[in-house]
Structures are given as structure tokens and as C-alpha cells.
Amino acid sequence: MNSGLPTLTQHRKDDAPPRKTVRSRYLPLAATVSLFIVISVLGSVMYTGFFSPQVFLNLLIDNAFLIVVAVGETFVILSGGIDLSVGSVIALTTMVSAALVEKAGWHPLIVIPLVLAMGTAFGTLMGWLIARFRLQPFIVTLAGMFLARGLCYLISIDSISITDPWYAMVSQIRIPVMSGASLSLGAVIALVVLALAVFVAHYTPFGRTLYAVGGNPHSALLMGLPVNAATIGAYALSGFCSALGGVLFTFYMLSGYGLHAMGLELDAIASVVIGGTLLTGGVGYVIGTLFGVLLLGIIQTLISFDGSLSSWWTKIAVGALLLVFCLSQRAFGERSATKR
Amino acid sequence: MDDTVRRGKLRSMMEHRLGWPIVTLALLLALNAAFNPGFLHVEWRDHHLYGSLIDILNRAAPLAVVALGMTIVIATRGIDISVGAVVAIAGAVAAWAIGGSISGNVTRFALPVVIVAALGVALLCGLWNGLLVARAGMQPIIATLILMVAGRGIAQLITSGQIITIYYSPYFFFGGGYLLGVPVSILIVALVFALLWLAITRTALGLFLQAIGINPTAARVAGVQARRLTLGAYAFSGLCAGVAGILISSNVKSADGNNAGLLLELDAILAVTLGGTALTGGRFTLAGSVIGALIIQTLTYLIYSLGVPPEVNLVVKAIVVFAVMMLQSGEFRATVAKFARRPALADREVRR
Amino acid sequence: MTSPVLELRGIDKRFAGVHALQDVNLTLYPGEVHALMGQNGAGKSTLIKVLTGVVSLDAGEILLDGRAIHPDSPLAAQKLGISTVYQEVNLCPNLSVAENIFAGYFPRRGALAGFRIDWEATNRQARELLGRIGLDIDVTRVLTSYPVAVQQMVAIARALKLSSKVLILDEPTSSLDDDEVRRLFDVLRRLREQGLAILFVTHFLNQVYAISDRITVLRNSRRVGEWRANELGTQALIAAMLGRELAAAQARQPPPDDTEAHATDDALLDAVRLGQKGQLQPLDLRVRAGEVVGVAGLLGSGRTELAKLLFGLEKPDEGELRIDGVPVSFATPAQAIRHGIAFCPEERKADGIVAELSLRENIALALQARMGARRCLTRAEQNALAERFVRALGIKAATLDMPIGLLSGGNQQKALIARWLATEPRLLILDEPTRGIDVAAKQEIMDEILRLASTGMAVLFISSEISEVVRVANRIVVLRDRRKVGELPAGTSEDTVCEMIGAEHG
């Protein structure tokens, strides 16, 4: 019997749950996309030069790494967990890459697969601890965050600039998309990752198991789904995405530094939530995260275009967005949870 | 209990909830003393106490205060990750209220007003969190995440993005002054601790908070005003963050919207966990959280004195968190017990 | 005569101090619906847990198709062919109907995309499966967009898809209305014709007769008997389920005192057309000081719902509640407590005890909550209070400081009663206070109820044990299907009460 249900609040027979129409499932996503469009239009009206293809493609270019990381975070949150270590893993990835390329002289094409494997292993370890010992994801990934950043500093306190020509060359690759506008390699990679993620989430048993675990882990277990394996997989995937995001970040910053991506996990989580995914898990679309990132990005762009508004308004705007989305998620009668 | 009589005195000491924290702290102090001659030396210099131990107590003060507030919130099965941002906000409000005059004795508002303003804003932040959790029924981590993100922006707004230097010397009293030879910050922590301790033990608050954390439904059926208490817990946490904000900004003589209190919430959660309070709520220990804060500070001191860069602190903290996590995990203990021949320690009385 | 598909022989199971099952036998044949009946605490859920591998048995054996099996988890039981559908549907609320049926067993298509899930096939096959049990719905919609009745069908469809020999339905109809129950039974009949063996756990009398072929009744952890449904009359069934105390035990107890001697004329509590949509039809209830009002009825008859309305845990949609003639409305239990009402809930583990707190603290909790935070009971006062009740109620605990979670069920229950008695309420509502408690403790609690009434306290005593209600009550209110069907005076025989409970089901 489900001992988790408080028995004093049983369901009422007559009050069947409001029949959610197919449309209502997409409502949060629609809200995000609409908001994105509205702000884009606002910006175009208010500022000249806003509505140019390159401005929008720049959103993708500048936020490529965040898109990748947030995609990984989406999987973890869908499964009902959370990953606070993503920013630190990015930093660690940049540091290890920089150290190996600059100090040890290894070729980037060896270093990159290596750091990807490292990130995946890191995530797998955290996932294993969470699944095997039923630890709280919050605290495990918190420790992971400390650990990753600490390891950064163990390698080097100061930043290590990457002067390797290969990196510089790759970071400047531009793939023309339309009428003078182009995308960076990183942005293309981000879009590819996104497409793959959508596939995994909707067409693979692994992805569906994650949704099931996020919806009701107890039921998922009783239904015979591989809950533990899926949980570990989600964190491994997040670790991989963090490392990949770190690689993209390395192209972006061309340096390895322990202070890179501070607070990025919050941006990732905010993107996921604003993209329509419930923090309690089980509900949401990976594509929503893309729009979450884009929305955050366009607010930032708008503020910098304005010039008069200070950039910290972005933080307040993000907080306000989070508030609105979370409150409306609650208002739509989602299950409440006592877990953190 | 019969068991206690049979076991050795050492064992029964370890079973006390504060056993492990105190031992850990003692160990760290011993290590420090081993590596730093004169570590344990406290003397009277320039009309006040002076020494490494005093240093540690002083630096641990803001963390200890925040940890106390965090303990109460965690006891109700909640969490508050916005305290770092509130610290920044409080410091910013104080700096703003003092004004930018370079003269060391000019302030825009009288000092009491400055303090009240900073604490008042911090209290409002806490109330905000409490409303989201108790009224809107949001998950604590989300509710406080919002303020954590937006709060830094608010702090920056108040300081106009600058790091405001504070020149008004009477303000430095809180973070860097001495009263009767003892650093004021330590006295403030002691005061907060004393007030909280009195509130918890002399009233039924301790009982109610634990009941809410252990079984919210049963507490409600028994007539405990769960909503009001939860609101109060978050308000108190905000207030503590405000106090810490004053201590920090007064100590570094500036208000930095970006960096003040950075990662402080994580340290506070760590301190509470180290002190023996479980993250799942229920039974809590105030003294444990203070000891936890001291452990973290002593550890930092040890690493620093060994010449290791302070950033490495993070790795050590991570290992400590892992260790504490594992020890608190029932699953882990069960696995260990399976390997061990003798029956596992009956830590029913120590933890849950 | 076909051979049984499932046989349980001599099943015995103990939990810390409680003998949950004693030498229980059960036989299930293919192509039949077999009802398992009994009140709460009789052992039904433990038997199901043993069958589905959730708990291990201490003695006895389980034979499936003649072969002994030892399921050690629900998954293992399912692989052997025993599927269970619970009252709270154990599916994922956020997934679609088709996905819930096929989770873990999706049809795939291979080639370039690398064995991706074939949603088209999934949806199609789901529709077919549901069609086989007579359900025609949009399988792409999320599970929770359908009422519980449909969700149960989905759960049944999944269970069947995993090719079952035995289908266990655990209290499936508690959240269904009459139409939905009819539809469910149509499905069950269809499945029965296909040769499935169905074990149907329930406490609803009319449903039992509508669908089952045979009935097994459990009471107090033993099997009372097994009958063909058409050979067992309603009264006999009720008698088997509810049982009676030995005549000797009854004779031992003094009959309840005359109402007049202890009750004043004014009503302490007056519920006028009090009701809550979907939970309780409007009813009238009057309780006077010094009275013990028994509330009798089967599970699901609305007894707990009534208690919750009186105590402020739920808000009534209609009617009025009056205390001492003054209309009141309770938004929280704290308000009800201030008016002198106390409520000891049925689920002591979930809603009653605060497990890690000590016995002493648990007893003092409600009183302290009413006093507020500032006026704090000292340790000495708490001790005195706790000791008083430990003695009065005979609570067996090593010390007052031990966590209440370690006490036995009976002692926990007594401690909870002590908690409420400490508030010196004017009206004490007890919801199944003797459930899962040993016989001696039961007697003690009932003696205490009588004693309390003699001091002027009003008691609302909700119980499934008719014998208990008859023993202590001055008046008996009978509920059935969430409405009040009548009131009986003191001295009523158990038969009469049973009749009123079961009337119209004969």
C-alpha cells in the first residue's frame, strides 16, 4: 500500500481531476515561447538593429554551452532529481583541457574525448551514490560541486590561457546559415545535442523510464522499470553534457579557470523550469529548455541593447520569471511534495 | 537504559548527538596545534583578546549565525538557499543607509536606524520565503531559489553595481570591534544563540518545530499551528542572514552585491549537517550547528596554515560532505552492518 | 472438478508482537471470482502482501498450478503470473494510458533510428487491449485525465498484458461510483469467462454478491470460513466478518448507564444537516455531555468523514455545526481543540504519532499546542502528566523518554488517547481506537471510555467492532454508504445493529 499518501486527504469521488485537454499539457511551453516572441517583438520595436538574423543567431552562439548543460539538467530534473554540479564540472573541464593542452602538450583531439569521459564518470559516480544509498540528490551534487571546483584549483589557481592554434581556429569557424548570418560550431553542436536529446527523451525506453521515475518512483519500481539504472544514467548524461558544455565553453573563453561558470547551475535550472519542466519531475519537454535558455538570453540581450539598464536587472528578471512559472505550476494543481 | 550501563563511557559519549562533532572539532584543533606552534595561545594585547583561536571564532561568527537560522528551517523539513543573497542585500542596505561620505564620522542615517533598516529588509526577505512555502505551498528549495537568483540582482540594484566602501567608523564595531576584550561578533553570535536557545527550551517552540518536521500531518491534527511556525522559521532565517550581513559588511568595511555571502548557504547547510541535524527534518541541535561552523572555520584555518591555497578547501569540504552524507544514510549503515560481524551501534538515540 | 490454480496452505505471519495471520488457507480456481473479506486489521492486506512477495511468510506454503512458489518481490510475483491492482493505482500519473500499459515492454522499430519506440504500434495495441476488456478511450491522453475507475482498467490491462494466471484486485471499488463499479464488474466477468482466476478483496457487501462466486472471510488474523456466494446470507456474512465477543466477556461488563443519569438536556454538539459533497450526505447528529455515541457502519460508510467535519480537518459544504447552541465553523483543528473537541485518528502511524519524539512529548503535544508556545510545560509537569496517563491507561513502556515509534501498536494507541485526554476535552472523538490492538488493551480502552463518560465527557466512538459499540454506547448512529440510516438506543442487540448496517443487501 502506498504509505506515502497522507490518509487524511483522500481523493474525493466526485471531484475527478480536471480533465486536462491535450492543449493544457503544452501550456507552460507555449507560455515560454510566446513570451520569447513578445520580447523579441518588443526589442525590435524599441531598438534598431535588434531584429536582425545575426542577433538571434548570436543567442545560440553565446548560449551554446548553456543549452547543452541545461539539456543534461533537464534529464536529471525530469527524473525527479537535481544536479548542482554542472557549473563546476564546466570549470573543471576547461581547466583540465587547458592544463593538458598547454602544459602537457597533448593534442586537443585526444584531450576532448578524455574530458568528456571524465565528466561522464563524474556524473556516474554521483548517480550511483544517489541510487544505491538513497541519498538526496541535492546534497550529493552539492558535494560534487565543491569537489569539481576544488579539483580545478588543485590543478591551478590562476587561469591558464589556451594558445593552441587548433582551439583558436575551431572557435572561429562560422557556418553560414542565411543572408550574411552564421552560426559557430559550438552552436551547431548544441543544436545537434538538442535534437539527440529530444530523440532520447521520446523514443528510447531510457528516456521514458526517466519520465516514469519522475512521475512516481514507487510505481515505476512496481511496474518493473529499471529505476536505479535509469537514475544513474540521468546523472551520467548530465555529467557528459556538463563536460561537453565545458568543451564549448573552452572554445568560447579560450582559457581554463576555476572561476569559470560560477552560478551557471542556477541559470541551467532556471532555464529548465522556465522551459516548462516541473521541478518535481515527470513533466516537461526537452525542447522547452531551449526556449528557456533563449528567453534568458534575449532578456540579457535586451538589457544590454538598452545600455541604460544595469545588467543585474537580468537576475531580477530571471527571479521574477521563476516565480511566475513556479506559482502557475502550483496553481495548475500539481502534486505537492515534501521533498526538497 | 540498560544498554548504556553495559557499554563503556566513551561509547556512550559518542552516542550523544554532539559526540562526533565535538570529536571532529577537537581533532582539527589538535592538528592545527601540531602544525602551528602557538596556535592555542591566547593573550591579552591592545586591550583585547588576541590569538588564533579568537581569529577562528571571529571569522566563524557570520557562518554560525546563518547556520542557526538554517537549523530552524531544516528542522521543519525545509531549506533556505537564499541566505547568501540576503547577506548581500543586508550589507547593501546598511551601506546605502550610511551613505558614501568619506568622512569617518558622517552617516546618512543614525546608526540604530541603519541597523534596523538592514535587519528589517532581511526579515522581509525571510517572510517572503516563508509566504511562498507556507501559503503558496511551494517546495522550499524552489521558493528560496527564486530569492537566491533575484536577491543578488536586488543587492546590486541597491549598490548600483559598485562595491560600496563604508567609512563610518562606528559601524565597524560590529564586525571588527571589541567589547570587554572579546570580539563583538562573537558576542553577537552568543547573544543570538542564547536568545534562540531560550526560545527553544523555555517555550514549546522546540517541540512544535520538531513535530512539524517529523510528521506534519500528525502535528496539525494535534493542533500545532504549522503554517505560522513555518512562516516564522523562514523569517528567522532571513533575520539571521541579516545579522550575518551586518557582521560581514562591517568586517570588510564594504558592501559587495556580487560576492558578499557567496556560497554561504552551502557552508551553512554543511555546518548544520556536520552538527548532527539531519536534512530530513525533525530533531535538531543548535549547539551542533555552531560546532559545525567552527569545524568548517578551523578546517579552513588548517588548510591555510599548511600553505595550501584556500580554494583547495573546497575539495576537503566535498570529502567531508560525502562522509557525513554516508554516515547519515540508513542504506549505507545497513550495508556496513552487513559486512561487520558485530551488531551496528544502536544510534537510535543519536540520530533518527 | 478443475484443480485450483492457486493454493495457500497454513499461512502464518507475525510482525513485531502482532500475529497478523494464523494458519490461513485459501484456494483459488481458474475462471472464478473469489472475494476475500474482513474488516481492517483482519489480515487481508497481509495475506495479499504475502502472495505478492512484499513480505515473507513465517510458515505455510503457496502453490501455483500445484508447484510451490516463493515470490520475494512484486516483480517476481508478476513474472510467476500473479498480478495485483491496488486501490491507489500504482501507475505513473504523468504518462499516457498507452505508455503506462507498455512501459518497459515497448514495441520497437529498428533500422536507421536504432530501435526507437514505435508509438504508433504502442497506441494501436493499447487500444486493442483495452477493447478486449470493453474500454474505448483515447490512449494518448495522460493517465490522470481519466477518473480512477478508468485508471484501474488501465492497470488491469497492463496486468493482463504481462500474461497473468491470477489477478488480485485490492479494494478496487472504494473510489468508484455505481456506474463505474458496474463497468468494472462487466470487465471482471469477461475475464472470468476467459479462464482467469480473480481474487477480489473488498468490504462492500452488495458488490460481493454481485460479482463473486465464492467468499473467504478473515477475522482477527484467522480464516473464519469459505463459502459459495449463493449459499451465504448477508446476516451470516456480516456476523462472520464482525464477529461477536464471547457471551461470557459480554456478561462480565456492566451495561452502559442510563443516559438520563449522566447527560444533561442541552446538547453539547449539534450537527444540523451537516454534509460534504462526495464525502458525506447531510445528516443530523446530537451529542450530549456524558454520553457515549457509537458510530457503526462498514468501511467507507462515511464515519471518518463525519469525524473530520466535526474536528475541522475538512470543511462542510452544507449544514451547520453548533457547540452549546452557538454556530461555529472550524478552519483548523486548533480551533476545534479550543472549543474542547479532541480527535484520535484512525491511522495512528500516519496521522497520530510523531515517531521520533518521546512518549512523554507525544502525550503532552496536544495540550501544549492548545496552551500555545509561550506557556511551556516544564519537564516535571510533562513527566507528571505522562505518568498519570501511563498508570491510568496501563501504557507499557520502558521509560517515558523512549521514542514512541518503538512502542507496540496498542501502547501507541493508548498514548494517543492519553494525548487527547490531557486536553480535558468536552467531546472526544475516537476513530477505530481498538484497531490492531490485543484483546486486553481493547478492554482497557473501552473501560476507560465508560469511565470518561461517567465524569461528564462526551465520547463519539467509531468502530467496526459491533460488540464494542454495543457494549459502551448510550446511542448508536448507523451509517451506510456515506449517509446516516438510523439511530438505535442503548441495549440494542448486535443483530439489530448488523441488520441496520446490512439492510437492503439481503
Does the CB of C40 have a partner CB in chain A at under 8 Å? no
Query: Which is more confidently placed, A8 or A305?
Result: A305
Per-residue pLDDT for C262 more than 90? Answer: no
Q: Which amino acid is at C244?
A: R
Most confident of the ranges A149-158, B242-251, C57-66, C479-488: B242-251
- Residue A253 has, within 13 A of its CA and on its CB side, a CA count of 24
**Residue A209 — pLDDT band, cuts 50, 70, 90?**
very high
| Chain A residues 269-328 within an 8 A CB cutoff of chain B | 269-270, 273, 279-280, 310-320, 322-323, 326-327
A35-53, pLDDT tens digit by residue?
888 888 888 887 777 777 7
Q: Which of A208, A261, B209, B257 is nearest to C105 (CA)?
A: A208
| Chain C residues 321-360 within an 8 A CB cutoff of chain A | 345-347, 349-351
Q: What angle do CA C54, C60, C63 make, to 5 degrees?
A: 80
- Alpha helices (runs of H) in chain B, residue ranges in sequence order: 2-6, 9-15, 19-35, 52-75, 83-98, 111-130, 140-159, 172-176, 184-202, 205-214, 216-221, 226-252, 264-274, 286-305, 313-328, 330-339
Distance from CA of A312 to the nearest CA of B (A): 5
Does the CB of B163 have a partner CB in chain A at under 8 Å? no
What proportion of chain C, given as a percentage, has pLDDT over 90? 25
A191-203, pLDDT tens digit by residue?
999 999 999 999 9
Q: Which set of grid coordinates corresponds to residue A93? A: 573541464
Distance from CA of B141 to the nearest CA of C (A): 22
Say what the pLDDT of residue A258 is.
82
Per-residue pLDDT for C264 more than 70? Answer: no
d(CA B264, CA C70): 53
Say what the pLDDT of residue C503 is.
60
d(CA A301, CA A56): 9
Does the CB of C106 have a partner CB in chain A at under 8 Å? yes
Please answer yes or no on whether B218 and C369 come within 8 Å at the CB atom. Answer: no
Say what the pLDDT of residue C470 is.
87
Average pLDDT of the residues in C497-503: 75
- Name, in order, each residue with C-beta under 8 angstroms of A62's C-beta and a sequence gap of 6 or more: A252, A297
Say what the pLDDT of residue C252 is.
40
- Residue B49 has, within 13 A of its CA and on its CB side, a CA count of 20
Q: Which set of grid coordinates corresponds to residue B122? A: 532581511
**Residue B345 — pLDDT band, cuts 50, 70, 90?**
very low
Average pLDDT of the residues in A66-76: 97
C123-172, pLDDT tens digit by residue?
999 999 898 888 889 999 999 888 888 888 899 899 888 767 899 998 88
d(CA A285, CA B2): 58
3-state secondary structure of A191: helix
Average pLDDT of the residues in B296-317: 82
C302-327, pLDDT tens digit by residue?
888 899 999 988 889 889 999 988 89
Contact between C319 and C483 under an 8 Å Cβ cutoff? The reply is no
Average pLDDT of the residues in A215-228: 89
Say what the pLDDT of residue A272 is.
94
Say what the pLDDT of residue C460 is.
92
Does the CB of A107 have a partner CB in chain B at under 8 Å? no
What proportion of chain B, given as a percentage, has pLDDT over 70? 91
What proportion of chain A, given as a percentage, has pLDDT over 90? 41
Q: Which residues are A151's β-sheet partners? A: none
Please answer yes or no on whether B219 and C354 come within 8 Å at the CB atom. Answer: yes
Query: Which is more confidently placed, C276 or A244?
Result: A244
Q: Which residues are C506's β-sheet partners? A: none
Does the CB of B148 have a partner CB in chain A at under 8 Å? yes
- Alpha helices (runs of H) in B36-103, residue ranges in sequence order: 52-75, 83-98
Does the CB of A230 have a partner CB in chain B at under 8 Å? no
CA distances for C304 relative to A76, A274, B76, C271, C300, angstroms: 40, 41, 28, 15, 8
CA distances for A69 relative to A57, A89, A125, A266, A282, angstroms: 18, 10, 18, 11, 19
Distance from CA of C154 to the nearest CA of B (A): 31
Q: Which of C291, C263, C305 is nearest to C450 (CA)?
A: C291
Please answer yes or no on whether B221 and A8 come within 8 Å at the CB atom. Answer: yes
The partner residue sitting opposite A1, judged by closest CB among C45, C106, C279, is C45
CA distances for A17 relative to A332, C276, C421, angstroms: 11, 18, 39
- Name, in order, each residue with C-beta under 8 angstroms of B145's C-beta and a sequence gap of 6 or more: A266, A269, A322, B81, B82
Contact between B255 and B166 under an 8 Å Cβ cutoff? The reply is yes
Say what the pLDDT of residue B222 is.
92
Per-residue pLDDT for A190 more than 50? Answer: yes
Please answer yes or no on whether B220 and C332 come within 8 Å at the CB atom. Answer: yes
Contacts of B266 in chain A (CB under 8 A): 142, 145-146
**Residue A31 — pLDDT band, cuts 50, 70, 90?**
confident
B104-136, pLDDT tens digit by residue?
788 888 889 999 999 999 999 999 999 999 988
Q: How many residues does chain C have?
A: 506
Please answer yes or no on whether C371 and B204 come within 8 Å at the CB atom. Answer: yes
Phi-psi map region of C98: left, alpha, beta (phi>0 left; psi -120 to 50 alpha)? alpha
Q: Which of C161, C187, C158, C185 is nearest to C92 (CA)?
A: C158
Q: Which of C35, C170, C163, C166 is nearest to C90 (CA)?
A: C170
Chain centroid offset of residue C350 CA: 13
In this structure, of A266-280, A298-312, A317-331, C205-219, the range with the lowest mean pLDDT score is: A298-312
Average pLDDT of the residues in B195-200: 93
**Residue B145 — pLDDT band, cuts 50, 70, 90?**
confident
d(CA C198, CA C32): 6
Greatest alpha-carbon pair distance for chain A in Å reads 71
Q: Which residues are B254's β-sheet partners? A: B165
Average pLDDT of the residues in A222-227: 87
Q: How many CB atoms neighbour CB C29 within 10 A?
A: 16
Please answer yes or no on whether A315 and B152 come within 8 Å at the CB atom. Answer: yes
Say what the pLDDT of residue C249 is.
39
Q: Which amino acid is at B10?
A: L
User: ipTM, 2 decimals?
Assistant: 0.83
Contact between A279 and A273 under an 8 Å Cβ cutoff? The reply is yes
Say what the pLDDT of residue A116 is.
96
B199-229, pLDDT tens digit by residue?
998 889 999 999 999 998 899 999 999 999 9
Per-residue pLDDT for A34 more than 80? Answer: yes
Per-residue pLDDT for A138 more than 90? Answer: no
Task: Tell me which of C40, C91, C94 to substitute to probe the interface with A (most A C-beta atoms closer than 10 Å).
Answer: C94
The partner residue sitting opposite C75, judged by closest CB among A3, A208, A224, is A224
Say what the pLDDT of residue C439 is.
67
Please answer yes or no on whether B77 and A338 come within 8 Å at the CB atom. Answer: yes
H/E element holding C466?
A: helix C466-472
A57-69, pLDDT tens digit by residue?
888 889 999 999 9
**Residue C113 — pLDDT band, cuts 50, 70, 90?**
low
3-state secondary structure of C282: strand
3-state secondary structure of C195: coil
Say what the pLDDT of residue A97 is.
93
**Residue B8 — pLDDT band, cuts 50, 70, 90?**
low
Please answer yes or no on whether A310 and B217 come within 8 Å at the CB atom. Answer: no
Distance from CA of C90 to the nearest CA of B (A): 23
What proportion of chain A, given as a percentage, has pLDDT over 70? 90
Average pLDDT of the residues in B143-162: 88
Distance from CA of A16 to the nearest CA of C (A): 6
Per-residue pLDDT for A74 more than 90? Answer: yes
Contacts of B217 in chain C (CB under 8 A): 350-351
Q: Using DSSP bridges, classify how beta strands C6-15 and B178-179 pair: parallel, antiparallel or unpaired.
A: unpaired
Please answer yes or no on whether C356 and B203 come within 8 Å at the CB atom. Answer: no
The partner residue sitting opposite B322, judged by closest CB among A132, A143, A337, is A143
Please answer yes or no on whether C88 and A5 come within 8 Å at the CB atom. Answer: yes
Q: Using DSSP bridges, classify how beta strands C116-117 and C108-109 pair: parallel, antiparallel or unpaired.
A: antiparallel
Q: Which set of grid coordinates corresponds to residue C196? A: 482467469
d(CA B205, CA B210): 8
Average pLDDT of the residues in C261-266: 53
Say what the pLDDT of residue B346 is.
43
Tell me the average pLDDT of chain C: 84
Q: Which of B35, B17, B56, B46 is nearest to B283 (CA)?
A: B17
- Alpha helices (runs of H) in chain A, residue ranges in sequence order: 22-25, 27-46, 53-62, 64-78, 86-98, 108-133, 137-155, 165-172, 185-203, 205-215, 217-222, 227-253, 264-274, 286-306, 313-331
Tell me B45's DSSP state.
E
**Residue C397 — pLDDT band, cuts 50, 70, 90?**
confident
Does the CB of B138 have a partner CB in chain A at under 8 Å? yes
d(CA B151, CA B88): 8
Per-residue pLDDT for A75 more than 60? Answer: yes
Say what the pLDDT of residue B61 is.
95
Average pLDDT of the residues in A288-307: 86
Say what the pLDDT of residue C430 is.
92
Does the CB of A159 have a partner CB in chain B at under 8 Å? no
Tell me the Cα Rg of chain C: 25
